[in-house]
Structure 1
Amino acid sequence: MSRYLVILLSLYSATSALSIPFIHDAEQTVFNTHAPADLPHPNPTHSFWTHTPGANPLAGVGSTGALTDEADVCIIGAGITGVSAAYHFANTVGESAFPIPEGETKLRVVVLEARDFCEFRCHGWRNGGNLTPYEFLEFRKVEAQFGREAAMRYYAMEHYTSTEMARIARAGGWADAVDLVEGGHMDVMLTEARLAEVRADFDAAIAAGKRVNVTWLSREDMQSAYGTYNWGVRSPGYNVWSLKFVTQLFRQANATARSALDLRLHTRTPVTSITPLSASVSARKWALDTPRGAVKCTYVVHATNAYASHLLPHMAGPGPAGIVPVRGQVLAMRANASLAALSTTSWVGNAGYWFPRPVHSADEAPLVILGGARTAAGAPFEVGVTDDGEINPSVGRVLRAFLPALFPGMYEPGREPEAEWTGIMGYTTLNIPFVGPVLDVARPDAHAGQFIAAGYAGHGMPRAFACAEAVVGMIAAERAGRVWEAPAWFPAPFLTGVRDAPQE
């Protein structure tokens, strides 16, 4: 049993064998036959985030010229997880907790991305900029599944991620450059039944001793303030341009520990396979094969989310160790009202999520980012799809009609979006990510030195940064010959192996 598992088992005692249905019962037949993921599609749909002129200055960095031949750590994926890992390496390397490898002057870290910088992971669906931690939603389900202590950490980690990302942007002086908006978040309930469910989760969280920072709004309050006659509950939250945030974070990582870290980036360099190296051939453990050659590495960090099973076939869904790709669809719609009328709040409700973008003048109608409505695609509801090179017309029709119906007069019926795209999410059977050493029950030692943070279940914005921090801490502990201790906010069930651990 791994050292990571031993220390966390003392924190985790499951209270039941329930599972959280993460998509829809009708989709189980798809899960049962799911194959390893393909590589990311070479010609993705054009996202507002990535295809706005000037938005991606690192797009093709390292895609030509010599490929880095070897590194101490190879990070596969230049999205929020991968770049956050690079940032945490920059902040810890050279310290006593993370010594530089013996005989070297710097820790060598290389980031490999299949497409343009952050193209997939900042192109995707939920990584659309809604940086909102759950305050209490689904608390009853989470507590029943994982126990009270783990449930508290489940929510604490999301709060930590969101506030820490905002702090970093502000401290670095680039909060405005990445469109960081602390506009709060609203969950809207269209039926009394849904209101009762949300109230029950709130009551359960309070009964468990959780501090919950929310404001409840009646139908009349919501109609007066927002122009929709439905119930609402408001909580803290942020919006951010994910790609711009990750760009700044990568630049900060490069500047933070320049004397102790050699950080390199290779975009348009997909990793097609990982080959073990024998000690007689190399001091490194792994060769990462790409169309441009191989990179030899001691440690590997899989930050590929929905595509993880392409390199780790044993993680093809839907089993307890699986990640299932699911396609989501997003559009950017111009409102028919000012930002003052709409507010800077982000929203979730009725199978959709949306938020207004910042504006340059008070009378400008904002662009609103809206995603969801995946059930309009019909069974299997875009499950198992890795092709984000096309959109689904049925989903698009529902999204176009969504906001005009919910906010009469604030959106023009029939108006076409200014951008529409798809992205691929990674779901797991428990709706929580895998964080830690890559484990394969059939081959316990087959992936020594490989780590993963992936499977965010469409909720990666308030999870990925902290999950990457945990993985870097594990690698640092292993290099220093000590046992990794989980941060106070880390939920034990997220750790790889805990799902299959013996129950007390």
Structure 2
Amino acid sequence: MINHAASYYAATANSSVPRASLTGSVEADVCVIGAGYTGLSTALHLAECGYKVVVLEAAKIGWGASGRNGGQIVNGYSRDLKNIEWRYGKASAQALGAMSLEGAEIIRGRIKTYNIACDYRPTNVIAAFTGKQLRELEHMSAHWASRGHDGLEMLDKEGLRKHVKADCYAGGLIDHHGGHIHPLNLALGEADAIQSLGGQIFEQSTVTGVKTEGGKAVVTTAHGEVRAPVAVACGNAYLNGVIPFLTDKVMPVSTQIVATEVLGESTIRELFPTLTAVEDANYVLDYYRPTADHRLLFGGGIVYGGAEPADIEARLRPNLAKVFPSLGNVRFDYLWSGNFALTLTRIPHFGRIGSNIYFAHGCSGHGVTSTHLAGRLIAEAIHGDATRFDAFATLPYYPFPGGRALRVPLTVAGAWWYGLRDRLGV
């Protein structure tokens, strides 16, 4: 049996009854591969429309990035709208920009509709170390505002300190439409919602093959199969080659997180007066936030290719101490790692294989919101209106250069260059 990583989230998860694994043959309207956010969002939207949905999960609900990420509800994409417009043109930027706040709205709607207890709190902040980064945030804020995002507010150094008491920043940008949550509990709540509408979820059911036979998608596991007119592949960084066409379109990248000992409400309120989540503006960024039980959750550090570093504490403690020197020796109660999927363009990759197999992956570090949007767009396409799905699916996507052998060193070289620029402030 594959269990959750030994994370803070797993230790504080809402109680959940294990789901059975798939045995035998099952018929459905749609078979969804993966019980992370993309799969759960797709299945829930479809179940609300009356579809008979079956979800197959290789491990447990939210086992991958959806259950072990930083928990930050960050609007937009891993590339800002100005970059999207430069790369794809005004029409694409307008289409993607019009959907850029939707993922967060979906999450808040799910929490309210299905009474999901996942410690939701509003707002998130991007913090700038340098004047250059602050000017970049000003340009980004103006561009987003021109696309209808009315929740952004620039902060000078003292303005930022009203949200996070850290002296290392020059200022920042707060998003009043952002927020943060306990990500695993959100996933578990969405899974319960799917089942309340008649959907089926099978855990410990690794998919071994996907094919089209007699006009139907046939999705097989070690002990069973699902036959459905439509299948949706939502394995993201953990699809593990089961659909070869997708393998070279994304690269798994690991990120690391620690959760401190309980610091107490007074300490947390001193450090985070508004209890916001924070990420910095570096290319290889750190992100952190207070938890509901008054810990500091701090994440960062990436390993291209998805390997887990030997010493998570050594990677993250110096960065944490830079932001909060008073916590330089704080005890870490939980340390864990997990993979997200990176595309070459850093824009989520949506598409179809043939006429009846949909996929969405590669949110490139902005997955909490983008996955929820993806689920709605896939459901719309299956229900007969692919207009918004195709705004993503028709964008050009490319495999990583150099194939599997060279994609990691080439990406590392690029990241090293941008990381050097961050350190030099240029």
Does TM, normalized by the shorter one, top 0.5?
yes
> What is the aligned counterpart of 2:92 among 131, 141, 150?
150
CA distance in 2 between counterparts of 1:216 and 1:466 reads 26
Deviations 1:275-318 (A, max 9, x none): 442x3xxxx6233221223333321110111134612212222x
- Kept after mapping to 2: 8 A contact 1:401/1:414: no
- Kept after mapping to 1: 8 A contact 2:30/2:52: yes
The equivalent residue for 1:325 is: 252
Structure that is richer in strand per residue:
2
Residues 1:449 and 2:350 aligned together: no
Q: Which residues of structure 2 form unaligned runs of 5+?
A: 399-426
Residues 1:303 and 2:234 aligned together: yes
> What is the aligned counterpart of 1:426 among 324, 329, 341?
341
The equivalent residue for 1:293 is: 224
Deviations 1:401-449 (A, max 9, x none): 222221333x2x12231111111111111111122322xxxxxxxx331
Residues 1:402 and 2:333 aligned together: no
- Kept after mapping to 1: 8 A contact 2:2/2:204: no
Size of the alignment, in residue pairs? 388
> What is the aligned counterpart of 1:353 among 263, 287, 303?
287
CA distance in 1 between counterparts of 2:325 and 2:32 reads 47
> What is the aligned counterpart of 1:371 among 299, 316, 321?
299
Residues 1:270 and 2:206 aligned together: yes
CA distance in 2 between counterparts of 1:135 and 1:110 reads 29
> What is the aligned counterpart of 2:14 among 43, 49, 55?
55
CA distance in 1 between counterparts of 2:348 and 2:76 reads 15
The equivalent residue for 1:486 is: 387
Residues 1:340 and 2:269 aligned together: yes
CA distance in 1 between counterparts of 2:153 and 2:78 reads 12
The equivalent residue for 1:392 is: 310
- Kept after mapping to 2: 8 A contact 1:135/1:213: no
Q: Could you tell me how far 1:398 is from its partner in structure 2?
A: 3.1
CA distance in 2 between counterparts of 1:144 and 1:56 reads 47
Q: Could you tell me how far 1:469 is from its partner in structure 2?
A: 1.2
Counterparts of 1:158-307 in structure 2, within 5 Å, are: 158-174=100-116, 177-182=117-122, 184-206=123-145, 208=146, 210-223=148-161, 226-229=164-167, 230=169, 231-236=171-176, 237-256=178-197, 258=198, 263-277=199-213, 279=214, 285-307=216-238
Deviations 1:21-79 (A, max 9, x none): xxxxxxxxxxxxxxxxxxxx957641221243x53514x30127x44533232110011
Q: Could you tell me how far 1:209 is from its partner in structure 2?
A: 5.2
CA distance in 1 between counterparts of 2:180 and 2:149 reads 23
Structure of greater Rg: 1
Residues 1:462 and 2:389 aligned together: no
Q: Percent identity?
A: 22
Q: Which residues of structure 1 form unaligned runs of 5+?
A: 1-40, 94-106, 360-365, 375-381, 439-446, 478-483
SS in structure 1 of the partner of residue 174 of structure 2: strand
Residues 1:110 and 2:38 aligned together: no
> What is the aligned counterpart of 2:43 among 86, 99, 112?
86
- Kept after mapping to 2: 8 A contact 1:298/1:449: yes
- Give the RMSD, CA atoms, in angstroms: 2.7
CA distance in 2 between counterparts of 1:225 and 1:421 reads 27
Residues 1:383 and 2:304 aligned together: yes
- Kept after mapping to 2: 8 A contact 1:308/1:323: no
- Kept after mapping to 2: 8 A contact 1:300/1:451: yes
The equivalent residue for 2:247 is: 316
CA distance in 1 between counterparts of 2:352 and 2:397 reads 14
- Kept after mapping to 1: 8 A contact 2:217/2:229: yes
- Kept after mapping to 2: 8 A contact 1:153/1:491: no
Letter in 2 for 1:244: N
Letter in 2 for 1:397: A
Cα distance change of structure 1 residues 221 and 114 upon mapping to structure 2, 3 Å threshold = same
The equivalent residue for 2:31 is: 74
Farther-moved stretch of structure 1 (133-142 vs 294-303): 133-142
SS in structure 2 of the partner of residue 498 of structure 1: coil
- Kept after mapping to 2: 8 A contact 1:136/1:201: no
- Kept after mapping to 1: 8 A contact 2:79/2:347: no
- Kept after mapping to 2: 8 A contact 1:426/1:455: yes
CA distance in 2 between counterparts of 1:391 and 1:81 reads 27
Cα distance change of structure 1 residues 353 and 150 upon mapping to structure 2, 3 Å threshold = same
Cα distance change of structure 1 residues 498 and 291 upon mapping to structure 2, 3 Å threshold = same
Letter in 2 for 1:358: A
SS in structure 1 of the partner of residue 229 of structure 2: strand
Letter in 1 for 2:254: R
The equivalent residue for 1:499 is: 396
Letter in 1 for 2:159: D
CA distance in 2 between counterparts of 1:76 and 1:90 reads 15
CA distance in 2 between counterparts of 1:461 and 1:119 reads 14
Q: Could you tell me how far 1:348 is from its partner in structure 2?
A: 0.7
Letter in 1 for 2:395: V
- Kept after mapping to 2: 8 A contact 1:84/1:469: yes
Structure that is richer in helix per residue:
2
> What is the aligned counterpart of 2:64 among 120, 126, 150?
120
